[in-house]
Amino acid sequence: MRPTPGLPPGPTSRLARAALLLGALAAAPAWASVAAPAATPVLPAAEVKPAAGQAKARQTEPPGGDGARAVSKDGDPQVRAQLDALGYKYQLDGDGDFILTFSLDDDKRSQMAYVLSRTQRFGSLKVREIWSPAYRTGDGGALPAAIANRLLEDGQLSKLGGWVSQDGVAVFVVKIDADASQQTLDDAIDYAVRAADQMEAELTPGQDEF
C-alpha cells in the first residue's frame, strides 16, 4: 500500500513489488500528524475473526435499493483478481467475503480488513464496502456514549468512510464503486486499516484485539 492522500507520509513496501511483503502502514486518520513506520505482513487466520454479526456490521439497505446481489462462496472474481494482482494474501469467510490481516508498526500491532463480495445498489449506484473493526463492548450492547461521540467526531474528519456499530462492535467502513479500479480498492483498504487501527489504539490502549 502507498500512503493515502491527506494522511501522514511514511516509508512503505508493497507486495505488488515484492512477493514476500504485504504493504501496510500504521493507521493514521486525517487528524493525526505523526508519520507511521512501515509495516510487514501476516497471513489472515480464521480463528482471529470475531463472531459473526460482530466484526462485520451489515448495512441496512436504504429505501428504494435493489438489495445485495448473491455471490459465490469463492468470492467476487473481480475482487479476487485485484487482490491477487496486488500480491495480497487473504482467506474467505462463509459469506464469500475476503479477510486480510496486516502487520503494523514493526509487527507490534495487527489489523484486520474485510472486502465484501456482495455489492449494494441504489438507483444507478453500485457500491462495495471495505470494513475494519476497531472496538468491541464487553457485553455486545450499545457503545458507551463517550465512545460513540468520539467515533462521530472522527467520522466528521474522515476523507473516506465512517463508523458504524452493530452488536457492540465499532467498524470503520469505506464505500467505493463496485467496479472500481485495482488502485482504488488498494487505497480504500489502506485507509480503512489505518483509520481502524489508530482508533483501536486510542480507545483500548495496550490492547490489539483486531
Q: For the chain of 210 residues, list the mean pLDDT of each consecutive stretch of 10.
A: 38 31 32 32 40 40 45 87 95 94 83 95 95 91 92 89 92 96 96 94 88
The closest alpha carbon to 79, from 173, 157, 160, 176, belongs to 176
Q: pLDDT at position 208, please?
A: 82
What does each C-alpha distance from 6 to 2, 12, 13, 153, 162 come to in angstroms? 12, 16, 19, 17, 16
Can you give the pLDDT at residue 135? 92
> pLDDT value at position 166?
86
Structure confidence at residue 24 (pLDDT): 33
